[in-house]
Structure 1
Amino acid sequence: MNAPQSASVAPRVKAAWLVRLRRLLAVPVAAALVLGAPGLAYATFTARTTAALNVGTYTVPAPASIGGTLVCTTDQGKKGAAISFTGFAAVSRATGYTATLTSPTGPQAVTEIAPEDTTHEVKVLSKGNGKGTYTFTFSARVGPWTGPDLQQSVTC
């Protein structure tokens, strides 16, 4: 049996100047990491962004006019008032309208009207003898906001 002869491997010996150079470079690199890393983290967490935002205002106006008749009426022996309208001046951006007819003794008839619904009848009958002033109000809504009333009255 023939066994190969082992060759001895010489251990690597670093040059003294290379060891000294590594030591000299290690100190400034460590100092730069210790001093520079918090600054980088601070810069990252304090970065700010802004966006433009335009804000405006809109005042909901009262409807300019309404076409209809507000009259005193009697319905099954009870006296009151009724209004029938066939159109109204649309309010810009309106999402709906509210028509309210109030009797002199307190009862009200409230009707919610869609923007495209231009014909309607609202009637309220009084608890008393039907005499007095009946008030009709009509207002526009834009989302949750309501504008001022267009108001008409009839005395019965």
Structure 2
Amino acid sequence: MIPTALVVGMPAARRRGRPRASIAAVLAAVGAVGLASAPAAWASFASVATGSLSASTLGLAAPGTVSAAFTCPTGSVKFGSANVASFTAVPRATSYALTLTTPNGSATQTVPTPQQVTLSVAGFPNKGLYTLTIVAHVATWTGPAYTQTTTC
């Protein structure tokens, strides 16, 4: 509240409670600042930065020349298996995943180099399709699969 002694000397606009001239001055100042800053928002840059990016591809082959034999469950033999005696290495491969899939499940083994591996799956049913799959890996990349099947 403004003391009564000061109200007597004030203009009529201020005595009513709102200084109208002050509000208009503030709005004009805000508008001027807004217009003055607009060119900064529309500024353009004089220099251009460039970078380089290289991408590469790697063609992976399926392991070849695979020597493998399947064993089908019969009589007292209650599991199916695949014995991989050898397979040809894939250039730049860091590992190989060998998987035997049978009607009763699957078994997978990962090896760092081509080597002898025996994969077995126990249980029944003992009749059906048995599939041996070998894929080469280079880090997280996976090559095409070598597949060999037999029916027990």
Structure 1 length-normalised TM: 0.59
Q: Deviations over 1:120-143 (max 9, x none)?
A: 111112432x01111111111111
Q: Deviations over 1:69-110 (max 9, x none)?
A: 1221459x45332111221110011010011111123x1101
Match of 2:148 in 1: 152
Q: Hey, what's the Cα distance between the residues in 2 that align with 1:138 and 1:92?
A: 15
Gaps of 5+ in 1: 1-42
Pick the aligned partner of 1:138 from 131, 134, 137: 134
Contact 1:72 1:154 in 2 (8 A): no
Q: Hey, what's the Cα distance between the residues in 2 that align with 1:136 and 1:59?
A: 22
Match of 2:109 in 1: 111
Match of 1:34 in 2: none
Match of 1:121 in 2: 118
**Count of residues in Structure 1 that have an aligned counterpart in Structure 2:** 109
Match of 1:86 in 2: 85
Q: Hey, what's the Cα distance between the residues in 2 that align with 1:127 and 1:63?
A: 30
Across the aligned residues of Structure 1 and Structure 2, the Cα RMSD in angstroms comes to: 2.5
Contact 1:101 1:110 in 2 (8 A): yes
- Code of the residue aligned with 2:99 in structure 1: it is T
| Alpha-carbon offset, residue 53 of structure 1 | 4.8
Gaps of 5+ in 2: 1-44
Please give the secondary structure, in 1, of the residue aligned with 2:55: coil
| Alpha-carbon offset, residue 49 of structure 1 | 6.0
Q: Hey, what's the Cα distance between the residues in 1 that align with 2:140 and 2:56?
A: 17
Structure 2 length-normalised TM: 0.60
Q: Hey, what's the Cα distance between the residues in 2 that align with 1:54 and 1:142?
A: 19
Give the fraction of aligned pairs with identical amino acids, expressed as a percent: 32
Higher CA-based Rg: 1
